[in-house]
Amino acid sequence: MASAPPQIDRETQLRMYRIMVDCRTFEERAQELFFEGLVRGTTHLGIGQEAVAAGVAAAMRNDDYTFCTYRGHNHTLARGVPMAPIFAELFGRATGLMGGKGGSMHLTSVKHGAMGSYAIVGAHLPIALGAAWSAQYRKSGQVAVCFFGDGTTNIGAFHEALNMAAVWKAPVVFFCENNQYMEYTPIREVTAVEHPAADRAAAYGLDSILVDGNDVEVVHRVAKTAIDRARAGDGPSLIEAVTYRHGGHSRADPGKYRPDDEVAAWKARDPVPAYRQQLLAQGVGETELEAIDGDAREAVAAAEAEARPAPEPAADVLETQVWTDGGSAWRN
């Protein structure tokens, strides 16, 4: 991964900033709505980790595939999926992205290349490999990007997918967002190596890649290199980006198991204002950034307003879409 970092053009920079702000604004509101009781079930926020979703998405082709986890709002938004159906899904409404059948943990929009959010740790790594294999077979030039957390590196499916992807030279990028915790347990307490993904790349004949996950441009560059490599037929990559979630693991978890100074230090490295500062320093105008910030606030407000009054799913959809014929009949 030693090639000189290409310049990132202004358009891409602004796009990444916009994605980050959209994600942040959306999720902050989602959290409020969870506490209001409007978002039901559970919700896993990526606040603090937006640089990853944004940096990678901006390196993807429109027809590339994203596979992510229950902590997948950011990755889904980053592919251009509109906010209203996501809100509606979180609220359990008929207009939800999956009609209320999936919920927060399973956001999927195939037409945006958002191929699903998976809630059993590790499962989507083999599935992403399968999509990459399909692209390889169809010679479509598509790449699959698979996001997962540090905790995921200790489950069997991780190992199987990495080895098989390497052997098959599949066009897939495995992207580990090391936010340093698996739910409430610090990853270092349950992992035999310091860098749960990077220190294991060699076990699959891959380069060890460890980057700052809070620097969107660093993320973008490393993602672009890996995606280009995959597209060129040079096989998979495993990237570890170190980052931090500002809040708890899910729902109402206040994240009290983390030392205050650790949280404070990472909040001081918040990727969104940091990138804003960086762009300002590079000469982007304050008004331009403010417009983006304002757009995000408006978009979130409009999406919420659209989703709120939507009806609950009708009883007659309960048993639809088990099969491709639209139904669920298991007998004649």
Terminal Cα-to-Cα distance of the chain (whole angstroms): 58
If binding is defined by CB under 5 A, does position 240 make contact with Mg ion?
Answer: no
Tell me the sheet residues that pair with 212. 242
Angle value at C-alpha 300, between 286 and 57, nearest 5 degrees? 70
The one among 183, 194, 312, 319 contacting ligand TPP by CB under 6 A: 183
Binds 41: which of its own copies, ligand TPP, another protein, none (CB < 5-8 Å by kind): another protein
Nearer to another protein, 157 or 239 (CB): 157
Binds 193: which of its own copies, another protein, ligand TPP, none (CB < 5-8 Å by kind): its own copies
Would you tell me how many other CB atoms lie within 10 Å of the CB of residue 161? 26
Nearer to another protein, 16 or 172 (CB): 172
The one among 69, 179, 214, 237 contacting Mg ion by CB under 5 A: 179
Binds 183: which of Mg ion, its own copies, ligand TPP, none (CB < 5-8 Å by kind): ligand TPP
Q: Minimum CB separation from its own copies for residue 212, in Å?
A: 23
Nearer to ligand TPP, 45 or 310 (CB): 45
Binds 71: which of ligand TPP, Mg ion, another protein, none (CB < 5-8 Å by kind): ligand TPP
If binding is defined by CB under 8 A, does position 200 make contact with its own copies?
Answer: yes
Q: With b meaning 16 or more CB within 10 Å and e meaning fewer, what string describes 295-328? A: ebeebbeebbebbeebeebeeeeeeeeeeeeeee
Within 249-288, the residues that bind ligand TPP by CB under 6 A are 249
The one among 27, 50, 64, 150 contacting Mg ion by CB under 5 A: 150
Nearer to its own copies, 81 or 127 (CB): 127
Q: Minimum CB separation from ligand TPP for residue 43, in Å?
A: 12
Side-chain-facing half-sphere of 53: CA atoms under 13 Å: 31
Dihedral Cα 200, 204, 210, 213, nearest 10 deg: -100
Provide CB contacts within 8 A for 193, sequence distance 6+.
Answer: 199, 200
Provide CB contacts within 8 A for 73, sequence distance 6+.
Answer: 23, 26, 27, 30, 45, 46, 86, 104, 107
Q: Minimum CB separation from Mg ion for residue 228, in Å?
A: 27
Quote the tokens at residue 319.
Answer: 């048993």
Q: Minimum CB separation from another protein for residue 156, in Å?
A: 6
Quote the tokens at residue 99.
Answer: 């009609």
Binding string to Mg ion for residues 39 to 78, with x set by CB under 5 A, is what?
----------------------------------------
Within 202-231, the residues that bind its own copies by CB under 8 A are 202-206
The one among 5, 32, 41, 120 contacting ligand TPP by CB under 6 A: 120
If binding is defined by CB under 6 A, does position 240 make contact with ligand TPP?
Answer: no
Dihedral Cα 82, 46, 31, 291, nearest 10 deg: -50
Strands 185-186, 181-182: pairing is antiparallel
Quote the tokens at residue 217.
Answer: 């441009």
Which residues of the chain form contacts with its own copies (CB under 8 A)?
A: 154-160, 162-164, 166-167, 189-193, 199-200, 202-206
